Amino acid sequence: RVCTTVANPQLATPATRTGFNAAIRHQTPAFEWEIGLDARRLEGRAEEYYRYMNGQPTRFRVAGGVSELFGLYAQMTRISGPWTVTGAIRGESWRSFDGQRIETDLASSQNLPISPPNSTKTAPFSARFGTVYALSGDINLRFAAYNGFRPPSLNELYRPFRVGNDVT
């Protein structure tokens, strides 16, 4: 390689995230439980030059949107001698909206608006089960089985990106 080329310099990536968690919890020496709910709202966008030819950008892009997540969960733990057993379940609803992607050709100043779709998804319940057996003071045997849901990031939803020859 004799040179490198700029790929996508991002000029700005303003974002805000707000959320809350509320829970009720009870604990005794042998048993504890917690039930709760949480919510998150994310807003953000990326502003960047891209599609470089002869070392100069040919396009400018603004892409972003809003994502909201709402979840309910319950968890219980039982401690009996050297055994600790934990189980949890969680249900979530996620949606994205107000998505935008505006690409501007720098030579003609022509806007190329692309309207990303809005999405709503109610995730299947996720669950977790785990147990710990205390062999001695510092040695424990652990087992866990679980599944989970991760909503896509705003970047994954609204901003295309390239890794080698793959455009996502």
Q: What pLDDT is recorded for position 55?
A: 81
Q: What pLDDT is recorded for position 91?
A: 95
Question: Could you read off the pLDDT of 1-24 as tens digits, one per residue?
Answer: 676 666 667 788 899 999 999 999
Q: Which of 18, 107, 114, 14 is nearest to 61 (CA)?
A: 114
Q: Are 86 and 74 in contact (CB under 8 A)?
A: no
Q: Which of 128, 125, 63 is nearest to 96 (CA)?
A: 63
Sign of CA dihedral 163, 151, 122, 118: negative
Task: Enter the DSSP assignment of 112.
Answer: E
Q: Which of 13, 84, 87, 7 is nearest to 50 (CA)?
A: 7
Q: What pLDDT is recorded for position 146?
A: 95
DSSP sequence for 1-46: ---------EEE--EEEEEEEEEEEEE-SSEEEEEEEEEEEEEEEE
3-state secondary structure of 107: coil
Question: Could you read off the pLDDT of 11-58 as tens digits, one per residue?
Answer: 888 999 999 999 999 999 999 999 999 999 999 999 999 888 888 889
Say if residue 153's pLDDT is above 90: no
Say if residue 124's pLDDT is above 90: no
pLDDT average, residue stretch 54-68: 91
53 membership: H or E segment, kind and range: strand 31-53
Question: Could you read off the pLDDT of 80-110 as tens digits, one per residue?
Answer: 999 999 999 999 999 999 998 999 999 999 9
pTM check: above 0.85: no
Say if residue 161's pLDDT is above 80: no
Q: Which of 160, 166, 50 is nearest to 114 (CA)?
A: 160
CA distances from 115 to 45, 74, 150 (A): 14, 38, 23
Q: What pLDDT is recorded for position 7?
A: 63
Q: What pLDDT is recorded for position 159?
A: 82
Q: What pLDDT is recorded for position 4?
A: 66
